[in-house]
Every structure is written in C-alpha cells, then in structure tokens.
Structure 1
Amino acid sequence: MINRRALLGAGAMLPLAAQAAAPFANTPAPGWYRFRWGDFEATVVSDGTLPLGEPAGGFPTSPPGEARQLLESAFLRPDNVLLEQNCLVLNTGRQLILFDTGMGDSMGPASQMFGPTTGKLLANLRAAGIDPAAIDMVVLTHPHCDHCWALVDAQGRRNFPNAQVALSEVDLRYWTDANNKRGPEFMGAFIDGATKNLNAYRDRLVMVRDEQEVVPGVTALFAPGHTLGHHVYAITSQGRTMINSGDLAHHHVLLLRRPMWEFAYDTDPALSARTRTRMLDRVATDGHAMISYHFPWPGLGHVTKEGQGFAWHQAPMNVTTVG
C-alpha cells in the first residue's frame, strides 16, 4: 500500500530538483531591434555599452555632486555614466544605409579604450540578417572612435566592401590632419583611428552639406560643436520625420536636463552646448521622433521641453512601428 504522506513529500521535492537541473544561459539576446518608418524599414543594431566612469570626468562644468544627484534621481548608478551605442540601418527599398559603425577592432588595444563591452556591431548586424557587404552607404554623424572605427578591420580591410562613406568635409580634414594631435590625450588615438578608417574609403567618400539630401528621404542638418562638422540627419517618409541625433546629446538625463553643460570630448564645448539647446528645442517644438546614438537601448523616443531643459520619453518597444 502506498504511503500518501510519503508520496506527497516526494512530489514536493520535484520543483526543487527541476530548478537545480536548469543551468543559467549567461548569454544576452542579440542586439538588434526592427521597426517601420513610413515606407522605410529601420533596424537599430547595438555596438555594445560604453562606460564613461565618474560623471565629473565626462561633464567637467557640472557643479560638484549635481550630476550624481541627477543620476540617482533617475535610478541610475551615480558612479559610472553608461552610454549605449545605437547604430541605425535604414532600408529605403532601394538602398541599405548604415549610420555610424561603433568601435570595431581596427586600432588594436586602443579599440578597447572604453573597455571590452564595445565592438559588437558586425556580429549583431549578422544576427539581424544583414550582410555587411550589402550596405550601400555608411553615413557618419562624425568620425570619432565610437562612430567610425569599424569601417575597417584590424588589418585595414574594408568591413563594408561595397559601401560609400558620407561625412562632412570639415570633419574629414580635421580628423585626418596629424597637426591636430594636441590638447587632450585622446586626440592622437582619435586622429590615427579616423585616418586609418577613412583612408580605406578615399575613393568612395561623399561630402554631406547642410539641409541637402544624402539619399532620398535622408537630409543632413549641420549641428557643430561636438566636432566642427558634426551633422544630424532627418529621416522622412510618408510625412513623418525622425531625427538621427548622433552625439547632439550624450546622456538622456544629464545633457537634457542641463543642456548647457559641457562634455569632455567636445571639440568646441561652448558651441556644442548652444547647438544642443537649439536643436533639441527645434525637435521638441516640431514634435519629431528622435533616435539617439547614446541614449538607453534602442534609443528611440521623443523630447519635450521641461523647465530650463528637456525631458526624454522613451518609445514603447514595438516590433512593427514606432509612433
């Protein structure tokens, strides 16, 4: 005869045994997110996270303790400003356009100057079903390390063998000029990296100009300061516009709530702050959607005016459309 109490006791152990037998996966989901924008299909592809460390280092004009307080009030770590790297792939139906490339590995150890969490773009492109050889054009907001160093691999070979590369002429000249290796310590590596990556495409460069289309539906907008030739891009289809803001603002709290704060990696910090305030005001007033390179994944949302600054409203995750 079966002992009912013993049977129940044995059954009670089954969930524990099942839990113990399930190992942790320890693998993140592939970093890509796809949605429709009018007639276009857009895919945000992650290059990984970019940690800046203590906020005082990245935001040198912030009053002591205020940056940490703002981060804490937004339930963010106050001791390490963490940025995303959201590269956009736009399928217009005729062309496949990649905006910015992430860090890559073209510069060897220097490619990990911000740590080992960057350089994921190519793997995530393939996970999203996008062959790098299918990219028709790489559009650069500017040629800093985290935006152009994956144009080539460690051996200097083109990662996007069939692509043109679009950027501003002033940035091309500035960031491939060895005479500009002065000032902050990072300038030498930044210029060496831009030179190596851009020179591989010298016969395929396209110069962007303010308020002119780069390809149909994508218009360049001059937004100088972070670099002297920094551009953002208005992506328009079916009467709706989304602003690819590049490095207009690096952080969704610190530089929106305090848009006049300066950022350590700006070429002209004061001009960058003025441009940021002007362009964010324009985006908020027009009610356009915005995709930001460094905002929380996948970087899609809207900006509104709030007090002396702005607020970020993350778009709901939706696998088909973003409103």
Structure 2
Amino acid sequence: MTQDVSRRSLLALGAGLGASLGASAMLGGSALAKAPKLGTQSQYFYRFNLGNAEVSVVSDGPLPLGPPKGTFIGVPDEEVKKMLSDNFLSPDNVVLEQNSPIVNMGDKLVLFDTGMGTSKAFGPTTGRQQKSMAEAGIKPGDIDAVVCSHAHIDHIGGIVGADGKPLFPNAQVYIAQSDFDFWTDEGKLGGPLKDFVIHARKNLLPVKDRMVFFKDGQEFLPGVQAISAPGHTVGHTIFMVTSNGKSFCFLGDLTHHPILLLEKPRMQFSYDTDPKQAAETRVKLLDMIATNKIPVMSYHFAWPGFGHIAKTAEGFHYYPEAMNMQL
C-alpha cells in the first residue's frame, strides 16, 4: 500500500520529532555538546598523477580584480555582469585563483609560475606560494626549474624574497627572451607600466645568470614543450607537459576566466599588451586544445584549475575535473 506524504505532513513530523528529542534531553538526557568553530581551512595544495610524473598544484592565494567594468571589454557591461550572475558568480568582484603546478618528472622538479610574491597590488590574499609548498612537503631548494609563462607581476613575483635573494637557489629560470627584454626595460620606468617593470626587474635581474630562453615549439626540458601564445604579453607562452603518453596544457594567461573569456573568447582583457592579438591567439589555441581533447591546467580558474575545454556555438566551455583524493 502506498501513501502520499505532503510537505505539510513532513514539516509536522519534523516538528514533532524535534519536540520529543528536546523533551527527552530536558528529562535527564545529556545535553548535546557544542563544538567550537575551528576557523581553519584545508591545506592549499592538490596532487595528481600524469603518466609517470607526479603533479602537485600549489596556490599563491586568490587574486581579486574587483568590478569587471574596464577590465573585461568589448562586451556591454550589463551583459558581462549577467554572464557572471547567471553562473552564480559575483557580478561586482571578479576573483581569480593562482594555481601553480609543480611537476616531478623523476629527475627534475619543475615549477610553473610563482605568484605575486611580496607585492600586495591586488590585496592581502596573495603571496602564499611558499606556504602552500611547505604544506605540500616541497622544499624550494629542491626545485630544479622555474618556468615562467610571462613576466607579469602575478607570475614572476615569487622568484625572489623580500630581501631580493632568490627563493629557489638551485633552479634555472626559463622564460621567453622577448618578455624578459620587454618587462625589464628601464626605459619603461617612466610610463604606465612602471609598477609591472619595477616588479619584473626586482625578480628577474637577480637570476639573469641562471636564466634560459626557450623558443617556440622547443622541448626545453624533458616532457615540457613551449608553445608561443602572444598578445597577453609579447612573449607569453603556454606549455605542453607530457609523461608516458599523458599530457596537459598549462595555459598561463591564455584565458583568465572560465566564463567571460571562454564563452566569448573574443572579449578583450585590459591587462593584455595587444588585446586584439590576444583574442586571436586565444581562439586559435583553445580550438586546438578542444579539438585534440587535451586536458588543461589553468593558472587563474577556480581551484585547483584542472579540467577540460570543449567547443560551443559561440566559443568554449570549461569542464572542471573532480578532485580525486586517491593517488
């Protein structure tokens, strides 16, 4: 025999159960313990396997950009806000993550990008990469290679510490020469890029003697291939990372946002050196990645930034991969 249970009867049942439990506690039953709030979060690293390699993603902390107006351009402001709110994101504060993969190839430990470092240009939540690495059990002295997608403040800011000394004392630093030359040019210190140039000079010049310049298409480390992706900066580069037949593409800043710059990939981003070129590069390389179904590791997508990209009618869609807590 089946019986329909209405919402009202369920509510009444719940109220009755609550009353009886409360009465039982008052009649001599023990009081329910009140646990204190802990006020702490889990450690900021995530680990997965890639072929024979082990990847540890560490965070430099959230990077809030503030309101999208003036930053994401080429689409009406109200449409941008609607795109955010339709995806349950704040229309008034675009928050990016900073996800750096550290790939243990067995003979090399390779870190991609280093976060904001000591700069608080985007607020107090950045600059925790070294802490995240300690939580992951990785020592800075064990890093063999620091690979830079480009020389913007939030990607090379953690190469040196507050004292100006290199934080990765045994690592070679890999970057495109065009980006190094552009962002360390002291002639730009008097212009609008001043803060970015100061930060780049602070972090890149102390390691110039251990710097290696890669070329487009070059496998400059075993299992790491450079793919030129200009527009965001003159030498912006993404990387194909491969071990035992398994790959992911580290996107750097090919796209900053999983909604705004994927659903409408020709939308422009105000921090791009050449916004039009950046949009063309974004469409071309995302199309290649989606067509070949290459997994992506995104620096700025929601933690931990690992997932897949598929084509849509207008642009692309990001499918985050579920975190797997078993290695």
Structure 1 residue matching 2:39: 3-state secondary structure: coil
> What are the superposed Cα offsets for residues 113-137 of structure 1, whole Å, 9 maximum, x if unpaired?
1010000100010110000111001
Structure 1 residue matching 2:73: 3-state secondary structure: coil
Tell me by how many angstroms 1:58 deviates. Answer: 1.4
Aligned equivalent of 1:246: 252
Aligned equivalent of 1:310: 316
> What are the superposed Cα offsets for residues 89-126 of structure 1, whole Å, 9 maximum, x if unpaired?
00000010000000111xxxxx1110100001000101
Distance 1:234 1:6 in 2: 64
Find the partner of 1:277 among 283, 298, 320: 283
State whether residues 261 and 273 of structure 1, in contact with CA within 8 Å, keep that contact through their aligned partners in structure 2: yes
Structure 1 residue matching 2:196: 3-state secondary structure: helix
State whether residues 33 and 44 of structure 1, in contact with CA within 8 Å, keep that contact through their aligned partners in structure 2: yes
> What are the superposed Cα offsets for residues 55-83 of structure 1, whole Å, 9 maximum, x if unpaired?
11311322120111000111111100010
Aligned equivalent of 1:92: 105
Aligned equivalent of 2:147: 139
Q: Alpha carbons of 1:91 and 1:267: their partners in 2 closer, same or farther (altered >3 Å)?
A: same
Distance 2:146 2:102 in 1: 9
Tell me by how many angstroms 1:286 deviates. Answer: 0.4
Find the partner of 1:299 among 300, 305, 310: 305
For structure 2, list consecutive stretches of 5 or more residues without a partner in the other structure: 1-21
> What are the superposed Cα offsets for residues 252-300 of structure 1, whole Å, 9 maximum, x if unpaired?
0000001001101101110000000101000000000000000010000
Larger Rg: 2
1:250-269 alignment, distance < 5 Å: 250-269=256-275
Q: Alpha carbons of 1:320 and 1:208: their partners in 2 closer, same or farther (altered >3 Å)?
A: farther
Structure 2 residue matching 1:36: 3-state secondary structure: strand
Find the partner of 2:166 among 134, 152, 158: 158
Aligned equivalent of 1:108: none
Distance 1:320 1:133 in 2: 27
State whether residues 46 and 124 of structure 1, in contact with CA within 8 Å, keep that contact through their aligned partners in structure 2: yes
**Does 1:70 find its partner at 2:83?**
yes
Aligned equivalent of 2:15: none
Distance 2:121 2:317 in 1: 30
State whether residues 56 and 62 of structure 1, in contact with CA within 8 Å, keep that contact through their aligned partners in structure 2: no
